Amino acid sequence: MLNDSHRLSLGTAALAGLYRPVSKTAVQEVLTTAWDSGIRYFDTAPHYGNGAAESLIGDFLRDRDGWILSTKVGRVLTPDPAPPAVVNGFHNGWPFRQAFDFTHDGIMRSVEDSFQRLGLNRIDILYVHDIGDPGAGTDTPDHRAQLLDSGVKALERLKADGMVKAIGLGVNTVEICQELVGQFDMDLILLAGRHTLLDQSARQSLFPQLEKHGVRLVIGGVFNSGILATGPVPGAHYNYAPASDEILNRVEKIQTICNRHDTPLPAAALQYPDQSPLVASTLIGTAKASSLKRNIAQFNDDLPPALWTDLRAAGIIGGGPA
């Protein structure tokens, strides 16, 4: 499904106006830049702008060939007669409200609705979105039961019928991956922020399980919501909150090692997940073409092997002393 040509991929949350409005011109510039730079794997979700992102990427891909597309299930959208101006942080959202539904019927409806919004005749990868997430309120026995008692049957049916080629999870926590890997035959996990220069939790506790069951990763959130892009500057964010002194000090240590090897910190952050054979793709997202060009260039930079050796020796990444 995903091969070496898909090592870098583009997410579409920012294109639906996450945190700030985005013009249609900016959306087209980002998507065109991605395509012209060779990116062929794109990820979206009903959550991103209540369907807006799916529509945008569908319009862009419709007359093109050779792409891979993933979207997600777990939320069902219904019309909202009085939608707020900003919905779940999205400024370009459509007038719908969301409800989590991991049941067989909820997943089937979600897929059908996604096909309509996309205007495409195929979805390659289908992720179960935000299951087991305390922040989203889905870390409950009821949500797990919905998925395992009937939702998995929908995923397996969709794959068996050829409606999708691969299935898996699209989540932010390692714990739910540990719980669900092996409970159904998943192919991929899109995991955000848990295999980075700052957060080694996936490598430490999940990788052996993935190897055993033949599941690969798509890694998002490589900058941990900002600090690995900005560096340890005042006001830097880590996991969507102001970074603590401990995190600032850790990033300063990483940056010192990067400086020793004339390597920009963001380049090391972008390339780190790709060091593992378990990682099929590194997912990035932005609403600015200039930022995307810079990220693509940094992902493709030749970094010195000694950089990774020193990061391991300092206990920053796996394989070295603590």
Domains and CATH numbers, the chain: 4-222+272-287 (3.20.20.100)
Residue 322 has pLDDT above 70, yes or no: no
Q: What is the pLDDT of residues 172-230, one digit of tens each?
A: 999 999 999 999 999 999 999 999 999 999 999 999 999 999 999 999 999 999 999 99
Is 48 one of the annotated active-site residues of the chain? Answer: yes
pLDDT at 293: 98
**How is residue 272 annotated by DSSP?**
S
Q: What is the pLDDT of residues 82-116, one digit of tens each?
A: 999 999 999 999 999 999 999 999 999 999 999 99
Is 72 one of the annotated active-site residues of the chain? Answer: yes
CB burial of 160-172 (b: ≥16 within 10 Å; e: otherwise) equals: eeeebbbbbbbbb
Model confidence at 44, pLDDT cuts 50, 70, 90, reads very high
Which of these is catalytic: 72, 113, 133, 238? 72
Backbone angles phi, psi at 233, to 5 degrees: -90, 160
Is 310 one of the annotated active-site residues of the chain? Answer: no
C-alpha angle with apex 185: 159 to 68, nearest 5 degrees?
50
Q: Is 300 helix (H, G, I), strand (E, B) or coil?
A: helix
Among candidates 215, 177, 218, which has minimal Cα distance to 68? 218
pTM (predicted TM-score) = 0.97
Which of these is catalytic: 41, 48, 127, 238? 48
The stretch 287-305 carries a mean pLDDT of: 98
Contact 68, 42 (CB under 8 A): yes
Burial zone of 112 (CB within 10 Å; 0-12 exposed, 13-18 middle, 19+ buried):
exposed
